[in-house]
Structure 1
Amino acid sequence: MATTAPKRVTAADVARSLGLSRATVGFVLNNTPGQTIPEATRARVLEEANRLGYRANTAARALASGKSRIILLVLPDWPLDHSMRTHLDEASLALDEAGYSLVTMTPHPGGQARPLWETLRPDVVIGLAPFTPEQLAEIRASGVDQIIPPFPGGDEAAEGGLGFADGPRLQVEHLLSRGRRRVAFAASADPRLADLVMQRRDLASRTLHSLTRSGFVADSPITEANAAEELARWMDLGVDGVVAYNDDIAAMILGAAVRSHISVPDRLAIIGHDDTPLARLVVPALSTVRLDNAGLGRYLAALALSAATGSTPPAAGPETDAHLVERETT
């Protein structure tokens, strides 16, 4: 036997229950500015709406106002790691406090799903990395006017926008300050991170070359399967310091060193990046670089809100605010 969905409670139902006009109830429920409604009446309307189970019809409201109050954040095809989750949590909270919903999507090569900018009609589409010209054309064609960033970006825009310059520089400078001169770069083998790995490697390499006029002694992608073999090869090359792409990779090198009875940091200093909980939990604890991930999330929210409301955009973001966290592996 088919069941009938319960009837949606409307503003008219609230007005009928209280014996008030629909206009008065609508002004209260929509928080319409410029209306002089007594506080006692406002309180009665809100209390009765809550008692009856009234929920705003957001689709109708969006149609009437031309605003969906949705911010669409387009993510690159990266793993959802600790840093990314912190970005999203802070951005979502800041937007929620302003009355907006954050929705994320990740375009995949060859994907067949319709892009969410077509189905949701968001007020703002913001990309964590620059859009391609084709993506920008598609978003604009769907009717979205507010896009961040508004122009396609090349290699320089991608590097600067991600704000990783200070992190690799701090990693290299710290190892050199500890007297390490034969430094290796431990990369991630995840193909989804190829662009990020290249950016961090290049930034670290430039810093190393500017300070020592030399480059990395070794540079290899590290996995759980090859960490011990690669580390043995590096030790034969005289490597005494490792710049790791992130804390996960640093922990793989550290684990291989511990199992191979290589003293850390006496024979080998290791520094990670991102200051994830893992960096504090491994033994010995990882030296690393901390970025203001929460601040970046709030900055993204502020950018989106400025575009959605026409307010002044934030002057600058915290994405290059990196700090060295010295622990036991250096």
Structure 2
Amino acid sequence: MLKSGLARASCQFRRNEVRVGTKAGKRVTAADVARSLGLSRATVGFVLNGTSEQRISEATKERVLAEAARLGYRPHTAAQALRRGSSKLVLLVVPDWPVEFSISKCVEEASHALEEAGYSLVTQTRHPAGTARPLWELLDPEVVVGFTPFTPDELTAMRGCGITKIIPGSSLIPQQPDPLGLQDGPRLQVEHLRGRGHTRLGFAATADPRLAGLVESRLRTAQETAADLPPLVVRHVDDHADAAGQAVHDWLDAGVTGVVAYNDESAARVIRAAVRAGHRVPADLAVIGHDDNPYTELFVPSISSIRIDYAGLGRHLAALALHEAAGQPLPAGDVDAAATVVARESTEPSGRGR
């Protein structure tokens, strides 16, 4: 109860700050526009707020809008939200991961879909050691979406701010380890290598501490998929200058012929180290990455990878948010990131990807 009360007090304090802070910034108001034109504040307010019930001539509307633009008037979003009962803001909270092609594509598509429905998307990176206030306390978002599950403390804090539309965490999507269905990739990586005769596998991991949870999750899925094979030989490929070269040496000494890479960058490091050491890819060591970044086709040999429909995932997240915010229909079916294998030269014995 104490924690919830503190959260409510914090949110109220921040909202009070918004109300009393306009004078110092000399914000142009509707009253300024009315004074400049010699019109009533009510008339100007009806025009600027788009109130269709009032009969105001088109000429007057044009005068008001032109003068508002000239003076630099900007609507007060907090006041508008109070009037309409909606902030029209969706907050997307993302983990402290490097912003790669995959994440940016997802966010871009979600933003476009929400904008078409009249909503704005704001993103915030969740830093474990950060001290800044979370944006849900400052912006009063209508919906908060997490790329990964929220902690119990975060859920309590949001609900203390009056935010009840939370994804995942609402009745729509329960808290679960993989709410976005992204764990098919490692399974497909293992199956792809097994289908080409590789039964002794390695796993190429990154040492980036920000990605430790995601690496562990993908490794666990790969290990479960390969449970009937010898244990995966796990090596970090980027924790020192010759890490990838040492990993390749260790794998070949252990009889490894196929490597499941955490992502495409890890795969590229392995392939480069193997080729520089005089080994053939894929004849001596087959490698498959994850995420299908654009450079996978440009690398020599080109990199087999897992393609995730991150654009579709972004649209799906937007649809979930719009369902919570505006009651729009839910997207058909379960969350599906549509993971598929894109086979290229790094795993194809013929040297021809497909």
TM-score, with length taken from structure 2: 0.80
Trace 1:15-94 onto structure 2 (pairs within 5 A): 15=34, 22-34=41-53, 42-43=61-62, 45-94=64-113
Q: How far 1:156 sits from its partner (Å)? A: 8.6
Q: Residues 194 and 264 of structure 1: is their aligned pair in 2 closer, same or farther, counting only changes over 3 Å?
A: same
TM value normalised by structure 1: 0.85
* Residue in 2 that maps onto 1:198: 216
Amino acid at match of 1:310: G
Inter-CA distance 195–58: structure 2 relative to 1 (3 Å threshold): same
Partners of 2:27 and 2:90 lie apart in 1 by: 26
- Verify the 8 A CA contact 2:296 2:304 in the aligned structure 1: yes
One-letter code aligned to 1:201: L
Distance in 1, Cα, partners of 2:27 & 2:243: 59
Q: Are 1:70 and 1:122, in contact at CA under 8 Å, matched by a contact in 2? A: yes
Matching residue within 304, 308, 311 for 2:321: 304
Q: Match for residue 244 of structure 1?
A: 261
2:347 equivalent to 1:324: no
Alignment of 1:1-330 (within 5 A): 8-15=27-34, 22-34=41-53, 42-43=61-62, 45-150=64-169, 157-159=176-178, 161-209=179-227, 213-223=228-238, 224-316=241-333, 319-330=336-347
Return the offset for 1:45.
Answer: 4.3
Displacement after TM superposition at 1:137 (Å): 0.8
Residues in 2 aligned to 1:320 and 1:292: alpha-carbon distance in whole angstroms: 5
In 2, the alpha carbon distance for the partners of 1:297 and 1:277 equals 18
Is the contact made by 1:284 and 1:328 (CA closer than 8 Å) also made in structure 2? yes
Which one-letter code corresponds to 2:256 in the other structure?
V
What is the deviation of 1:258?
1.1
1:171 counterpart SS class: helix
State the AA in 2 paired with 1:304. Answer: A
Structure 1 residue 318: Cα displacement: 5.5
Relative to structure 2, which stretch is displaced further, 314-323 or 175-184? Answer: 314-323
Q: Is the CA contact (8 Å cut-off) linking 1:295 and 1:318 kept in structure 2?
A: no
CA-CA distance at 1:27 after TM superposition = 3.2
Deviation at 1:85, TM superposition (A): 1.5
Q: Which whole-Å CA distance do the structure 1 matches of 2:51 and 2:320 have between them?
A: 26
* Percent identity for Structure 1 against Structure 2: 55
Q: Structure 1's 167 and 109: CA in aligned 2 closer, same or farther, altered over 3 A?
A: closer
User: What SS does the aligned partner of 2:91 have?
Assistant: strand
1:224-276 per-residue CA deviation (whole Å, 9 max, x = no partner) reads 53110111111111211111111011011011111101111121111100011
C-alpha offsets along residues 308-328 of structure 1, whole Å, 9 cap, x if unaligned? 223333334664301211211
Task: Provide the rounded CA distance (Å) in 1 between the counterparts of 2:25 and 2:187.
Answer: 60
* Post-superposition offset of 1:5: 8.6
The amino acid that maps onto 1:275 is D
Contact 2:90 2:142 in 1 (8 A): yes
Q: CA RMSD in A?
A: 2.8
The answer for unaligned runs of 5 or more in structure 1 is none
- In the alignment, residue 176 of structure 2 is paired with which amino acid? A
Name the CA shift for 1:167/1:237 in 2 (closer, same or farther; >3 Å).
same
- Contact between 1:15 and 1:25, CA under 8 Å: does it hold in 2? yes
Cα deviation code 1:93-131 (max 9, x no counterpart): 322333333222233334322222222222111111111
In structure 2, how many angstroms separate the alpha carbons of the residues matched to 1:70 and 1:87? 18
